[in-house]
Amino acid sequence: MGNFRFHRRASRITLSALVAGLLGIGALSAAEPYCQQNPIVYCNDFETHSWEGMEHEDDATLVIAGVPGVHTFQGSGSIEAELDTDGTNASFGYRFFGEERIYVRFYMKWDGAWDRPMHHFFAIHGDRADDPWSCHGTAGCRPNGIKCLNGATVDSRETVPDELPGEPFFYSYFPDMSCDPGNVCDNYADPDAICQGCANRGLPCNSGLECCWGNHFNLNQGVPVSMEQDRWYSVETMIQANSVLLGSGNYDGEMALWIDGELVAHHTGMLWRHAEELLLNHFIVWNYFPEATQTYRIWFDNLVINTSYIGAFGEMVFQDGFETGNTSAWTDAIP
């Protein structure tokens, strides 16, 4: 078999059967095509019922005998995250060698209990090589672009009544973000304590007392999205680190979000870092939900991390001209 590679979305002639045939798998196989193609960064379809190097907390567990469409997207394996009234202890993620641009795609389903938005869902960021937790524990602090490449978190909000968890959006920290000045922060928190905590983490409030919380970046592609319970979604996110010249970051970073293979948000002009050695190296599903009043569950399946667009099942095509029908650039093709 030739070394075929997949590229970004093309025509929806549902290519799942075509891709499956060329890969030697059944059209309804649980196998993840990227897992069979030796991805650059990471892939886990959970069919081996193994974490395969992922980090996880106790309330994120492997499903080993799941029902397709119920507990899994396909096959028998997935991750089940159970969030009870403490709203924590169900996070999981994967650390990888640093990259300038990262795409993460997974399938997920909210259970029928969800009755409110998700506080902090998942994120892509870059910890320092000498401190794997440099991006953690800094809520309320203004980043300096040297300690951490903050990237972005995806959260949700209610935009259509009773459709929950609702509309996804980006929540991001960066050096020139908007923050609440001390006199505003004083109405709901203790800015002195927050700034002292930030100073202890190497992020002093150099411009005076302030409280910094992630800035919101909304869907901007004219495609409305309101995520609902009991439905599988393909979710893909891309973060492109900004460039750095002579110790000063440029405003050319990017973040994008696809739902079910459709681009719903793409923001450019981001500056997250001033240190070129800061690279994207950590994907984490926070599953942070302190508003939980009962037990909630989310299922995750078919995780792929790569340096190029991945796509949803059925939309992947060859990157050598298949969309145009021009086969002149094909190599190692089957006769």
Peptide bond into 165 cis (omega under 30): yes
The Cα angle at residue 98 between residues 269 and 107, in degrees rounded to 5:
80
| pTM attached to this predicted model | 0.85
Provide the mean pLDDT of the chain: 86
Q: Taking 70 as the threshold, does the pLDDT of residue 324 lie above it?
A: no
**Domain extent listing, the chain:** 1-40+310-330, 42-177+212-307
Which has the minimum average pLDDT: 75-84, 175-184, 318-327? 318-327
How do residues 44-53 score in pLDDT, each as one tens digit? 999 999 999 9
Contact 324, 125 (CB under 8 A): no
CATH architecture of 42-177+212-307: Sandwich (2.60)
